[in-house]
Amino acid sequence: MSMPTTIPLKHLKVLVVYSSYPQELIDRVQETFGSALIVDCNNINDSNREETIAYMKEVDGFITAPQVKIDQLSLLQHAPKLRAISTVSVGYDNVTVADLTARGIAFMHTPTVLTDTVADTTLALMLASARRICELDQWVRAGLWKAPVTPPQFGRDVHHKTVGILGFGRIGKAVAQRCSMGFNMNVLYVSRNHGKSAVSDTSGYNYKARCVELPELLATSDFVVLCLPGSAETRHFISTKELEAMKKSAIIVNIGRGSVIDEEALIKALENNTIAGAGLDVYEKEPLAQSSRLNTLPNVVIVPHIGSATHETRFGMANCALDNLINALQNDISQNCVNKLDLQKNK
């Protein structure tokens, strides 16, 4: 399969489905391409489906929010000219990449822009869970602070403890750097790609991290941090067996994908004090239902999938997604293309 010839960007049509796409970037889209439809929404629904589907018949490129279920909505059958899709995210469990490859469609993502911000969120969840920040905030607001705090209000130290990281990609390594260099923590990790005991990050710093098998990580870690992507292989990677293998004093933090943890098993472990606590940014079903028992548990910190949600990082991701789309439509998939190798094989 040969790559299409380069067509001037001003001759191309693009679709953007993303809520609150920055006006500066909307202006850039409209200046760069011949035609653009901006759908100010994070999904395709009854209010915009007819207009969107009609426009897709002529679309060459598509910038999308990660919530758009591309396969489920059968969007591809409405877009015969589509050459590139660019998601404003690092994860892509909303897409079957093989289907895009079969059509010769480049699939782009934003893997580097959000690394530090998500790592910061991870440390925030670790600290908030260990020091019971949210729980004690509510305790003070309820008027229960009548005297100096006593052991029932005490938390747990983070510094000099052991953190076990599942998934040692960019974000996992950024978390390791913060834990090792900022909190003098012992760092363990589980990874499909076993590395050396001393790991160097992209800033040139060295920190100690030891690759171990999962049973050792679970049994010895004070904090278990999940940085795993969502997939069939990682679904319920952590369930009852793994939670029971953890220390009773341990805290689990998930900033990867909600499907990685068996949520019902986690709730039972928290209710029964099988583990001490949890810090969660992602869930099996999002938004988290108000009826979820997680909402009633004092030993869990829950936030609404805010891992990368800062003004600076979300702008950076949206800008990167636009750069990715421009590059792909100019037949440059050298950076940030998920299916680059498969597309190159099919040339």
Catalytic residue among 286, 293, 311, 312: 286
- Would you give the distance in Å from CA 113 to the centre of its chain? 12
Q: How far apart are CA 182 and CA 90, in angstroms?
A: 26
28 is catalytic: no
What DSSP string runs through 31-56? HHSSEEEEE-SSS--TTTHHHHHHHH
CB 162 within 8 A of CB 218: no
263 is catalytic: no
Q: Which residues pair with 189 in a beta bridge?
A: 165, 211
156 is catalytic: no
CA distances from 187 to 24, 161, 167, 213, 328 (A): 41, 9, 13, 13, 38
Catalytic residue among 132, 257, 263, 284: 257
CA distances from 303 to 136, 145, 169, 265 (A): 16, 25, 23, 19
Which residues are catalytic, by number?
257, 286, 305
